[in-house]
Structure 1
Amino acid sequence: MIAHLALPRILRLGGGAVREIGDVVASLGLTRPLVVTDSFLVGTGAAERMIKDLTAAGVSPRLFADTVADPTTDSLAAGVLAIREHGSDSVIGFGGGSPMDTAKALGLLGRQGGQMRDYKAPRANSGPALPVIAVPTTAGSGSEATQFTVISDSSGGEKMLCVGPAFLPVAAVIDYELTVSMPPRLTSDTGVDALTHAIEAYVSTKANPFSDNLALVAIGTIGRVLRRAYADGDDLEAREQMMLAATTAGMAFSNSSVALVHGMSRPIGAHFGVAHGLSNAMLLPAVTAFSVRAAPARYGDCARALGVATGLDDNATAAGNLVSALTELCRDLRVPTPATYGIDSDRWHELIPVMAEQALASGSPANNPRVPADTEIRGLYEQIYS
């Protein structure tokens, strides 16, 4: 098997790395970046500091802070206009998964135009696109190292997966100090998101030796420190390790794929406004339990990496331990069910057929070790509700 791999050209890692953003941009020969962020980072002053650091490096930035959670096709229009008005030669995604997804989409639209629905999977997008520099402020999405973006279609609500090297950041600045202000709920949701990326990258039918190694390292790290980061946001060692694990997991699934959890997660976010990491967490134990019998050796390896099985355990036992451990982890992190989150039962069950259809159409379930039928996806949605 020949693996086709893609990684950011430049990585800056460590506490305080964000202050080097001007040097990173200048070293790439770029001069007019659009800084894509959100109102929260404007409110904290972090966006203003980045603008000052860029300006001090001789760069001419423009700030765009109108990103929205779970970006939509409508929300991109103002960003495309900002790129044209500024004459931007690059885009900086500064924030969590939503600002980075927005930045990636704007990088493509800023060069090629059109509508995001023109670029959704299964189309593979190789460019051209404006170069993107990613600066994550959460330890979860791994978007700083992936060739994916997810944009919701405002006209129909579908969460569209868009893939290809055109969306891969040319550089990533990974500063764990930016995550210290994350509250426990966000720490939990993004952390389980990163764990889901790593597990799905490893069990995916598109896995390869390169992604395997990254995935297992990320699983082991998250197993050791996620509860610590959740319990004590000032635990800097846990914050640093979670940030590294999220990026590592991002590299893993970007060079493998995600699978059934993600396929089922996107419709939950689209129809009920549930954050992506949280909808992954709602699904992860049940989908893993559904899938383990199709690849006990792969799931057994995940259990051993997570520290809930040893080499003395056979694969079936180890895989069973993984399901139990994920259930316990989500309980410890107080992950709600759709019911306890407040989603109306009638509306949930009314939309199950639509969500199952959208999950299958995304293509991600086809990468799962056990490829589900429509009726099985419906059953899983029924199962996780309460």
Structure 2
Amino acid sequence: MNAPQKPASRAPLLSLDAAMAELLARVHALESVETVATFDADGRVLAEDLVSALQVPPNDNSSMDGYALRASDVTAPGVVLRVSQRIAAGHAGHALEAGTCARIFTGAPMPDGADAVVMQEDTIEVGGDIHGVHIQAVPDAGQWVRRAGEDVTRGAVVLSRGHRLSPASLGLAASLGQARLSVMARPRVALFSTGDELVMPGDVPPESMKPGAIYNSNRFFLRALLRRMGCEVSDLGIVPDQRDATLAALKTAADHHDLILTSGGVSVGEEDHIKPSVQQLGSLDLWQIGMKPGKPFAYGTVRRDAGECHFIGLPGNPVSSFVTFLLLVRPFLLRLQGVPIDSARALPVATRLPAHFSVERADRRREFLRVRRNAAGGLDLFPNQSSGVLTSAVWGDGLVDNPAGTTIAHGDLVSYLSFAELLA
């Protein structure tokens, strides 16, 4: 009599690092480019290098209100120099006569012959027949002088292709005379949730909710996160837990979008139709990651007439959905927009901070704990780390990245990732 067959062992879960590398290897920057006003380019990604046609500042200028002079004319405190001219910002003076100084204001160009500025606090005006000043401090050559080109030199690549523009970047571009910028097109993302239990806020008052029904919170924060990432979002609403409806939603979304992002329906339940539907319409290349929360994360593609559309399925539990977006979807979207990001730089550099809590039971998965910095310079742990408790993501200001199989004792240094950086 043959021995009973042992059930096949399940494949080990993919590590987060391996999933990140695989995910980023499968995405390439969009080819579409558009030109926008510099005023409207915050958060957009440059499509070409920005090369300076000028130097900044264009000439030597004063960084202080005071007096421009030759340093060699002041060998000791108390020297009196005649004020031969007055130079305001936006106006050019004439060559400085030997033994004189020029009244000068911040940003004004230095006159020929002057090599230093003495700030007005180190001078005393002289009355009488001569309009002059006592120089109370001996200057060094170059003192309080901004040199021409010290910020930007002509011909320099000031901002590189793939740079995600910030408010400071826009100011820098404007300082080079750029009224418009060439940027990558925004990713077009179709967003929908699955689940017969989901109800939209406003459709049903709390007192009338049916047993088992919940409000759709994921739709709100995912839509906001996508917009923060510079995406054009098509909100396709809630798709019922039916195979035909799921297939139809995926087909419709694939035709006109670069990415389909869903929440829910990627686990192994009988009513989880996303996974088999994506496999029917294309391919499912990543599924289940060794992280907590966020194990049911999925990536694949959906076929369309012209090529394929990326698909990412997030878990239905709100914290799982929120965390996997920050850790995996965010770098994917940056890469899609042309930011030269790889798996080694996909997450911000973690800060090592002391844990003012303990975790006595190690998890077999890499765990991301919701924490908050405290006044003592350590980290407090939200007491309920369930993936359904969205309060933890509001209370917390970051995550502890805790390796698999690791306990934490009070005072241990742990790796902290701030939400501010993950949302930047």
Question: Which category of TM-score, normalised to the shorter sequence, fits these structures?
Answer: under 0.3
**Richer in strand (by share):** 2
Return the TM-score normalized by structure 1: 0.27
Give me the TM-score of the superposition, normalised by structure 2.
0.25
- Structure with max Cα Rg: 2
The structure with the greater share of residues assigned to helix is 1
